[in-house]
Homo-oligomer: A and B are copies of this chain.
């Protein structure tokens, strides 16, 4: 059985799980008082930080599943996304509206390859 690497200190969940060269994790904005564009920008920057932490980068993202609190925020998401997504190395992406906890406006589930 291949090794599972878990990052993060919470007992409720791991921040990142890595198995057979694929990392998976969930991001919401560290500052949920920001507006939808600000939250999307934060989440994408947090993805960058997690990628750096695990020795990967944006060109190795496989999939991003986006949950928006309100589909009316899709243009704000796309504005932040388009400035961030690496040309020629875009992941697959699904984006649907779902209820999120607290004041979160956007939540993403990410998978990316690591060495």
| Smallest beta-carbon distance A76→chain B, Å | 14
Pairwise interchain contact B62-A19, C-beta atoms closer than 8 A = yes
Number of copies of chain A assembled together: 3
Task: Please give, as numbers and ranges, the residues of chain B lying within 8 Å of A62 by CB-CB distance.
Answer: 4, 17, 19, 24
A-B contact pairs, 9 of them (CB 8 A): A4-B60, A14-B90, A17-B62, A17-B92, A19-B62, A25-B92, A67-B96, A94-B109, A95-B101
Question: In this complex, which of A16, A92, A97, A113 has the most chain B Cβ atoms within 10 angstroms of its Cβ?
Answer: A92
In chain A, residues 1-40, which have Cβ atoms closer than 8 Å to a Cβ of chain B? 1-2, 4, 6, 10-17, 19-22, 24-26
Pairwise interchain contact B1-A115, C-beta atoms closer than 8 A = yes
Known: A12-B90, A14-B90, A97-B100. 17 other contacts (CB 8 A): A1-B115, A4-B89, A12-B78, A12-B93, A13-B93, A14-B91, A15-B92, A17-B63, A17-B91, A19-B113, A24-B62, A26-B92, A26-B93, A26-B94, A67-B94, A71-B101, A98-B99
Task: Please give, as numbers and ranges, the residues of chain B lying within 8 Å of A63 by CB-CB distance.
Answer: 17, 24
